[in-house]
């Protein structure tokens, strides 16, 4: 068995339809097959242990990344004013993904001959360092400034080459500039598409300091401060406030602080992220992260073909609806001419039926739609209203029922025939929910077919399977592949099968009425949907605590 890492539900939803745009499907399939079939042990087993190299204070480099250990760590801190250190494990999948990105950032910073350098520590070997710096997962990145090893700064930037460099430079920079004249304020605001200005009566206040902390983390936005009365007057700001200026939509958004002058960093960060988005956002890799971290869980997706003028006109026609629901729902345009096949599949949209709309609640993962041909501005407005007040009825994807669904030993289920078969009060139905690309599902296929053949003559037992990547059922929550569920006759409670996936154990389970002897229970690896989150919302780390028997091969479902 292994520990299953359950991620925050909202983040699951946010990444649900984005990660497919950010990754190539074929690569995902190959990685999935490789990881699920072979697994990744906590620590690699070697036939012969290589001779250990004596540690010295010398600092070696690998692809411009300094290799540190307990002996040379102190020297590295002393010699480098800004040192970002990655604590990694050789077997960690996320660490392997980060490696080329990290090396590219290290190379660029080294060529610039700046005071910023990158290093790494194998935390599975250097356990004392890992313990000293409270490394709880891999990879963990910490920035050491001026040799201070007591208070390193946790990395909060994007795990991309540019993201690492931008975050480092923001941390090494002078911080948000002070705008002490109306002219300097106007020049700063005019120079950027989006700029955030903190208006504070006292630049040494706790609120001002908290504002600076935010500026260090949000590297894709330009920040400045002012306490000059003339600047307050020019921009009609009465008291301590954070104002976001933008060269689109309303032009600005204001966040007045409370009467006590307190600034909540989380609230201000959400305010900035949300108001940095246009009223109607075109979905792309560049806008994806802002969409998914906006704090708004209701998303309205308008699918159009940008080569058709009437469809591009529809975007502007829906703008009044977007204004009416601003703050409650994000409005996003998805162009079917872009490489968005995964998104179309997830929402059950074909390119020839656009324009069409789908709404999704990222918290509940429920989806809503407008029947084909019924899309108007008013029908969109009504659907948005119904979704917001909770009266809208969600829809669930389904393939068409195959003509031969009932002919083989394993019955083929889709959303449209699931209830009539699986919930038949006179049958005991054993269903495999699978993904076509899942390695474990492919391994199970011949055994499942043999099981179907074994019980083909039993009128009270049905062996079935359903592609859970193309079909959804309201009453069934599929968290990984394969998921096996037993639906007993008489409407009894559904049983989640957790035993060994072999014919003998399956037979015992079925012959025993859906009950498996306790000693037989032995949950095997499955492909976790929840573990597909290294899209990369940074912080999705392999846990240190996993035992040697547990695998860290958490593989991905194609998520949109």
Catalytic residue list: 92, 95, 438, 441
Structure tokens at 332: 């996003």
Interstrand relation of 65-68 and 116-122 (parallel, antiparallel or unpaired): parallel
Pairwise CA distance, residues 550 & 175, whole Å: 44
Strands (E), 257-321: 280-282, 298-304
- Give the phi and the psi of residue 97 in degrees, each rounded to 5: -70, -35
Pairwise CA distance, residues 121 & 140, whole Å: 10
ω into 295 cis (within 30 of 0)? no
Which residues are CB-neighbours of 492 under 8 A, at least 6 positions away? none
Q: Is 483 left (phi over 0), alpha (psi -120 to 50) or beta?
A: beta
Tell me if 360 sits within 8 A of 374, measured CB to CB: no
Kind and range of the H or E run holding 223: strand 222-226
Structure tokens at 403: 């003509």
- Give the phi and the psi of residue 118 in degrees, each rounded to 5: -120, 145
Pairwise CA distance, residues 463 & 505, whole Å: 15
Kind and range of the H or E run holding 247: none
Does residue 468 sit in helix, strand or coil?
coil
Pairwise CA distance, residues 265 & 248, whole Å: 25
Tell me if 138 sits within 8 A of 89, measured CB to CB: yes
Cα→Cα distances 551→43, 249, 404, 434, 440, Å: 10, 49, 39, 20, 14
Which residues are CB-neighbours of 242 under 8 A, at least 6 positions away? 196, 197, 198, 199, 211, 254, 255, 257, 263, 268, 271, 272
Cα→Cα distances 298→344, 361, 475, Å: 18, 5, 22
Percentages of the chain per state (helix, strand, coil), in multiples of 5: 35, 20, 45
Structure tokens at 478: 């599929």
Does residue 521 sit in helix, strand or coil?
strand
Closest C-alpha to 438, from 32, 11, 142: 32
Q: How many helices (H) and strands (E) does the chain have?
A: 19, 24
């Amino acid at each position: 068995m292994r520990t299953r890492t359950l991620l925050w539900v909202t983040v699951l939803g946010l990444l649900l339809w984005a990660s497919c745009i950010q990754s190539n499907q074929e690569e995902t399939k190959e990685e999935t097959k490789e990881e699920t079939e072979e697994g990744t042990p906590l620590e690699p087993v070697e036939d012969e242990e290589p001779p250990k190299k004596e540690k010295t204070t010398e600092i070696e480099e690998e692809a411009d990344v300094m290799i540190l250990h307990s002996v040379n760590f102190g020297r590295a801190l002393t010699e480098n004013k800004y040192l970002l250190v990655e604590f990694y494990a050789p077997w960690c999948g996320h660490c392997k993904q980060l490696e080329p990105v990290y090396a590219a950032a290290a190379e660029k910073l080294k060529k610039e001959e700046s005071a910023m350098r990158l290093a790494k520590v194998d935390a599975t070997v250097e356990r004392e360092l890992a313990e000293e710096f409270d490394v709880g997962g891999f990879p963990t990145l910490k920035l050491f400034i001026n040799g201070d090893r007591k208070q390193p700064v946790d990395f909060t930037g994007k795990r991309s080459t540019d993201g690492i460099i931008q975050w480092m430079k923001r941390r090494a920079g002078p911080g948000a500039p002070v705008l002490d004249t109306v002219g300097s304020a106007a020049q700063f605001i005019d120079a950027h598409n989006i700029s955030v200005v903190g208006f504070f009566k006292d630049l040494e206040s706790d609120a001002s300091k908290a504002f600076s902390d935010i500026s260090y983390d949000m590297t894709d936005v330009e920040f400045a401060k002012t306490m000059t009365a003339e600047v307050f007057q020019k921009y009609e700001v009465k008291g301590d406030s954070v104002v976001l200026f933008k060269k689109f939509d309303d032009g600005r958004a204001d966040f007045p602080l409370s009467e006590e002058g307190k600034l909540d960093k989380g609230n201000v960060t959400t305010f900035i992220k949300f108001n940095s988005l246009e009223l109607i956002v075109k979905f792309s890799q560049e806008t994806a992260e802002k969409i998914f971290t906006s704090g708004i869980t209701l998303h309205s997706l308008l699918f159009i073909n940008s080569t058709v003028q009437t469809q591009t006109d529809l975007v502007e026609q829906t703008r009044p609806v977007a204004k009416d629901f601003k703050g409650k729902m994000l409005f996003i345009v998805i162009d079917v001419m872009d490489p968005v096949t995964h998104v179309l599949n997830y929402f059950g949209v074909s390119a020839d039926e656009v324009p069409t709309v789908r709404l999704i609640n990222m918290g509940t993962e429920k989806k809503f739609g407008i029947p084909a041909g019924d899309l108007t501005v008013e029908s969109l407005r009504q659907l948005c209203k119904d979704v917001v007040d909770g009266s809208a009825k969600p829809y669930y994807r389904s393939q068409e029922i195959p003509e031969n669904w009932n002919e083989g030993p394993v019955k083929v289920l889709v959303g449209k025939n699931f209830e009539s078969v699986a919930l038949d009060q006179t049958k005991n139905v054993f269903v495999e929910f699978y993904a076509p690309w899942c390695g474990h599902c492919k391994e199970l296929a011949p055994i499942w077919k043999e099981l179907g053949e074994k019980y083909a003559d039993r009128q009270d037992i049905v062996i079935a399977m359903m592609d859970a990547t193309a079909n959804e059922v309201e009453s069934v929550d599929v968290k990984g592949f394969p998921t096996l569920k037993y639906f007993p006759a008489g409407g009894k409670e559904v049983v989640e099968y957790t035993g060994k996936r072999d014919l003998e154990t399956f037979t015992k389970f079925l012959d025993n009425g859906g009950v498996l002897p306790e000693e037989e229970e032995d949950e095997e690896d499955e492909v976790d949907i929840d573990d597909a989150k290294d899209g990369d919302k940074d912080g999705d780390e392999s846990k240190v605590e996993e035992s040697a028997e547990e695998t860290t091969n958490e593989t991905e479902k194609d998520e949109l």
